[in-house]
Amino acid sequence: MAPVFYLFYMLCLNLSLLCVLFVVTWNLYWRGGFAWDGSLLHFNWHPVLMVSGLVILYGNAAVVYRIPFTWKQRKLVCKLVHAGMMFVALLLSVLGLSAVFDFHRGFNIPHLYSVHSWVGLSTVLLFSSQWILGLVGFLLPYSTPWIRSSLKPVHIWIGKVILVFGLVSCISGINEKLLLTLNGMIAVPYSTLPVEAVFVNFLGILIVAFGMSVFGILFVKKWQRPEDGPESTHLLLSEGTP
């Protein structure tokens, strides 16, 4: 089974790299690069951080338990890697939100008016709640086996919901940015498909393809990490932790 898994996983990793490369190139080459000073360049961190954090790092953190070579590690190590990657993903997402709020303030643009922003903010709020719930339910020593076994399916389901929300937010955001930016340039409106538009539309396709590769990996039952030992050994600071 492992070779087929690694084929899927390599696809997932390659799509990850391509998505990050594309979103950085877009903002570096066509949108003038980056700054953190309330200027137009301040906005450019928003797509880069949301795509890299909320979708790419999030998706990679979601499949970390499925990588067969990690099965030799204790489950607590995997949990910590999963929680750590998710924490960085959440941090990047919050920074990405902060970039767009700062940019709006600098240009007196109202916050949170589009359906993209409503779904996007819901995604980050859901993600924050999920991370805290995950920490309390699966890592802190006060959690009981009953809590963990009841929470696990909910955690997995909400985890997938967040990825779907993340994909919806990214594609609607990319569409919004191209409409607002390119349609402001009379010479090359979005509908004439300048090179930037084709490049960024293709980034959109790469992002949904990445999402589907993650869902593909999560979908196959036999790629799940085999259960090893009693759950009590998999909590932080619990008696069973060596």
Cα 14 from Cα 231, distance rounded (Å): 34
Q: Pick the closest to residue 224 from 7, 75, 39 (CA basis).
A: 75
- φ, ψ of residue 144 to 5 degrees: the values are -90, 160
Cα 20 from Cα 57, distance rounded (Å): 10
Cβ at position 197, least distance to its own copies in Å: 7
Cβ at position 74, least distance to its own copies in Å: 28
Q: CB count, 10 Å around CB of 59? A: 25
**110: contact with its own copies by CB under 8 A:** yes
Alpha carbon of residue 14 to chain centroid: 15
Cα 219 from Cα 85, distance rounded (Å): 21
By CB under 8 A, name the one of 122, 181, 232, 238 that touches its own copies. Answer: 122
By CB under 8 A, name the one of 21, 118, 132, 150 that touches its own copies. Answer: 118
By CB under 8 A, name the one of 167, 196, 223, 234 that touches its own copies. Answer: 167
**115: contact with its own copies by CB under 8 A:** yes
Cβ at position 80, least distance to its own copies in Å: 26
By CB under 8 A, name the one of 119, 133, 135, 151 that touches its own copies. Answer: 119
Q: State both tokens at 33.
A: 């690069």
Max distance between CA atoms of the chain, in angstroms, equals 68
Q: State both tokens at 218.
A: 């999560």
**219: contact with its own copies by CB under 8 A:** yes
Site for its own copies in 25-64 (CB under 8 A): none
Cα 58 from Cα 138, distance rounded (Å): 18
Site for its own copies in 172-211 (CB under 8 A): 172, 174-176, 178-180, 190-193, 197, 200-201, 204-205, 208, 211
Cβ at position 163, least distance to its own copies in Å: 9
Q: State both tokens at 22.
A: 């594309």
Rg (CA), the chain: 20
Site for its own copies in 144-163 (CB under 8 A): 153, 157, 160-161
CB nearer to its own copies: pick between 114 and 224:
114
Q: Pick the closest to residue 127 from 172, 91, 151, 102 (CA basis).
A: 91
CB nearer to its own copies: pick between 55 and 97:
55
Binding residues for its own copies, rule: CB under 8 A, are: 109-110, 113-116, 118-119, 122, 153, 157, 160-161, 164-165, 167-168, 171-172, 174-176, 178-180, 190-193, 197, 200-201, 204-205, 208, 211-212, 215-216, 219-220
